[in-house]
Amino acid sequence: MSDSERPSQLFRNLNAKIASIPMILTALVVFAGGTAWTVLYSFTNSKLLPRLTFVGLDQYYRLWATPRWLVSIENLLIYGAISLVFSLVIGFLLAALLDQKIRFEDTFRTIFLYPFALSFIVTGLVWQWLLNPDFGVQRVVRDLGWTSFTFDPLYNSSIVIYGISIAALWQGTGLIMCLMLAGLRGIDEDIWKAARVDGIPAWKTYLFIIVPMMRPVFITTLVIIAASIVKVYDLVVAQTSGGPGIASEVPAKYVYDYMFFAQNLGQGFAASTMMLLSVVIIIVPWAYLEFGGRKRG
Amino acid sequence: MFKAADDARKMAKNTNVQDWNQATNLVITGKAGGQIMGDWAQGEFQVAGKTAGKDYTCLPGLGLNEVIATGGDAFYFPLLKDPEKAKAQEVLAETLLDPKTQVAFNLKKGSLPVRGDVDLNTANDCMKKGLAILAKGAVIPWTDQLLSQDSQKQKEDLFSEFFAKPDMTLEEAQKRFAGIIASAD
């Protein structure tokens, strides 16, 4: 009986399987194949064009000895931490506030989501002008009377990455808010009523009951935020071109600059392999915890 | 050499510019005393209506060593089979190298004519100085022709960092510069 079931198992949903062949091929060839090729060539000394002269870990030694790369990593960690924490907190707060059945909910939702429709280049440029000390916020506040007010994060090497985080948060929080709102709407009315009957204060309800129930939504938003953190590039290019000196460099910018401007593919590949490695180091243990646990249970 | 760079760094503090033409603008509007830049910056002065010799002037080699670094753009003409188009290529080449075209173009854009026999009366102050140095033969090739792009980029990164970080010492910068040149290809 099992013999006659297995072939029909393979040919079940044949149309769907055939339709998904282009996507499978793309995933295999472009994503997996391209990644493997990049990792392989990061061990060579390719300059403008790829070539197979292996130099072992030389590109990596050079990478980790380059101050610009170290600054990039540090910036990514700071930017990542700020983006993650504030996106989630502000997004959730806004969603909780919008969920109170207020009157102009649609309008507010549109206003908060609008920045997400802008590309990072536009966002970067707008915030570059806003944070410009001669024409932006600093000038306006000074004209209003507070003549010693200083606010030019983009020209101060130690806090320029925070200036970039402001622009990124402004752009991305809207989407997180919408996802959280959808999650909140999915919570059963009875839960709220039960919590009220039990006399639990609102903030405790949110923190200890609602948030654990919204775990899938939090995981989705986490993945989306993490993806946009690792690939931050156009925002930095538009806002500060790498900052005063090299203070706001990020890994993606290092990869691009060294692959094309410095015409050193090997270095660029080594840097992008390091970026891949950092993502894998986080994803693999998490995936094991998520899916490995379920198989056992 | 790095002592001079350090002095320049101290003078350029708090200027808050990101592109070279914004720095040129600071000179044009009188906010900055000078700019170290190639003679193509004259294009910006032209557009602002300034005249060489009157509103601004050029100091080749900062007035100390009168040498010019040469580099430039090139036109490549592929061999065409159509004789009419090949003839048109020759006419274009002739026009480009004509002394009058050279002076007119370089006055607008800000660089030196590629031939020395141009009419010096039509040349501006900076161009006359440059042509005199060219005639003496005091030229060196631009670093583009000496270092690979990779080493160029590393050098640029080092100087960007040096100018933006006031607490980076001369010795540190010098050591790193020596390292870049030593491993240059």
What domains can be seen in chain A, in order of their start residue?
A: 60-296 (1.10.3720.10)
pLDDT of residue A297: 45
Give the model's confidence band at A8: pLDDT under 50 very low, under 70 low, under 90 confident, else very high. Answer: low
Reported as a single tens digit per residue, the pLDDT across B88-131 is 888 988 888 888 888 888 887 777 887 777 777 777 778 788 78
Q: How far apart are CA B118 and CA A226, in angstroms?
A: 61
Cβ–Cβ contact A248 with B under 8 A: no
Question: In Å, how far are A216, A222, A238, B60, B82 from A95, measured between CA atoms?
Answer: 16, 16, 30, 63, 69
Per-residue pLDDT of chain B (185 residues; tens, 9 = 90+): 777 777 878 777 766 676 777 778 888 887 777 777 777 788 888 788 877 777 777 877 776 777 777 777 788 888 888 888 888 888 988 888 888 888 888 887 777 887 777 777 777 778 788 788 878 877 777 777 778 888 888 888 888 888 877 778 888 888 888 888 888 76
pLDDT of residue A39: 92
Q: How far apart are CA A211 and CA A187, in angstroms?
A: 10
Reported as a single tens digit per residue, the pLDDT across A189-201 is 898 899 889 988 8
A243–B149 C-beta distance less than 8 A: no
Q: What is the mean pLDDT of chain A?
A: 87
Contacts of residue A201, defined as CB under 8 A and 6 or more positions apart, other chains included, come to none
The ipTM, to two decimals, is: 0.70
The domain spans of chain B are 38-141
Q: Which of residues 97-156 of A touch B (CB under 8 A)?
A: 133-134, 152, 155
Give the model's confidence band at A6: pLDDT under 50 very low, under 70 low, under 90 confident, else very high. Answer: low
Are the beta carbons of A258 and A252 closer than 8 angstroms? Answer: no
Partners of residue B148 in chain A, C-beta under 8 Å: 47, 263
Whether the pLDDT of residue A175 is over 90: the answer is yes
Reported as a single tens digit per residue, the pLDDT across A110-122 is 999 999 999 999 9
A257–B150 C-beta distance less than 8 A: no
Tell which residue, B168, B170, B183, B6, has the closest CA to residue A247.
Answer: B168
For chain B, the residues whose C-beta falls within 8 A of a C-beta of chain A are: 14, 16, 18, 148-150, 152-154, 157, 160-165, 176
Rg over CA atoms, chain B: 20
Q: Tell me the two tokens of residue A27.
A: 């995933």
Whether the pLDDT of residue A250 is over 80: the answer is yes
Are the beta carbons of A180 and A217 closer than 8 angstroms? Answer: yes
pLDDT of residue A9: 67
Are the beta carbons of A98 and A108 closer than 8 angstroms? Answer: yes
Cβ–Cβ contact A58 with B under 8 A: no
Least confident of A99-103, A110-114, A273-277: A99-103
